[in-house]
């Protein structure tokens, strides 16, 4: 089943705000995405950029409280290292452990040494974590094409997912070429595509049979297009 995730700041709401969270709950999306960092005192807060000393950012605990009575899942895009256990512990404390997704800076050594993490959280592993020099190896151009995704890159993505037990790889939507999607589909690996704001593009990707999740700033419009 293909899921829709409301990107932080969808439909014109402020990124990483409680206003966004409240709005996302009304969009019909299956999940919402927030960026997670630690504040100076060690609290978990939502922010894309580093949090300056003394800044007041919404806490992740507030986000969890807002979605607690819904069925919505939450994708925590980890924006700095060593957040995994703190986020999982907080989610378990607030009864959301079965609705938690990670993307972003997920530690490969942590996953390797604690493979049981897969039973505690769904991970959409960013392809850049598996292949750090990804973009250096893709021909520089204004848009991707099938020729811009070398077969060896596809093979490395598959190998990385299998080595660490990742079921879904998270990629920029323009990297979702026919060759890449076929490679993931043949390997039994799902694809999470970000950030897809054009409904027709979402429809095209969905028809590939490889896409498991679409993250969008227009989740309602994407949902309508997929259901049309």
pLDDT tens digits, one per residue of 197-219: 999 999 999 999 999 999 999 99
- Tell me the mean pLDDT in the region 190-194: 98
Question: Could you tell me the CA-to-CA distances from 99 to 1, 127, 163 in Å, in that order?
Answer: 16, 22, 24
In whole angstroms, what is the distance from residue 71 CA to residue 30 CA? 8
pLDDT grade for 163, boundaries at 50, 70 and 90: very high
Q: Locate the domains of the chain by residue range.
A: 3-227
Determine the 3-state secondary structure of 4 from DSSP.
strand
pLDDT class for 126, splitting at 50, 70, 90?
very high
Give the C-alpha separation, 216 to 195, whole Å: 5
3-227 has CATH 3.30.530.20 classification: no
Q: How far apart are CA 94 and CA 58, in angstroms?
A: 16
Q: How far apart are CA 73 and CA 218, in angstroms?
A: 17
Q: Reduced to 3 states, what is the DSSP secondary structure of residue 126? A: strand
């Amino acid at each position: 089943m293909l899921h829709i995730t409301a990107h932080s700041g969808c439909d014109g709401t402020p990124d990483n705000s409680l206003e966004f969270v409240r709005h996302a709950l009304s969009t019909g999306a299956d999940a919402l995405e927030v960026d997670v960092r630690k504040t100076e005192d060690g609290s978990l807060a939502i922010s894309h950029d580093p949090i300056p000393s003394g800044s007041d950012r919404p806490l992740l605990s507030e986000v969890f409280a807002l979605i607690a009575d819904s069925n919505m899942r939450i994708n925590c895009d980890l924006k700095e290292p060593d957040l995994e256990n703190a986020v999982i512990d907080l989610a378990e404390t607030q009864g959301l452990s079965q609705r938690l997704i990670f993307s972003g800076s997920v530690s490969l050594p942590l996953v390797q040494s604690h493979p049981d993490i897969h039973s505690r959280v769904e991970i959409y592993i960013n392809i850049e974590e598996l292949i750090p020099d990804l973009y250096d190896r893709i021909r520089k151009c204004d848009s991707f094409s099938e020729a811009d995704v070398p077969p060896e890159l596809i093979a490395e993505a598959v190998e990385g997912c299998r080595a660490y037990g990742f079921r879904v790889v998270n990629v920029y939507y323009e990297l979702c070429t026919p060759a890449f999607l076929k490679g993931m589909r043949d390997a039994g690996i799902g694809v999470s595509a970000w950030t897809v704001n054009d409904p027709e593009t979402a429809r095209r990707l969905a028809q590939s049979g490889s896409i498991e999740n679409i993250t969008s700033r227009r989740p309602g419009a994407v949902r309508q297009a997929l259901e049309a």
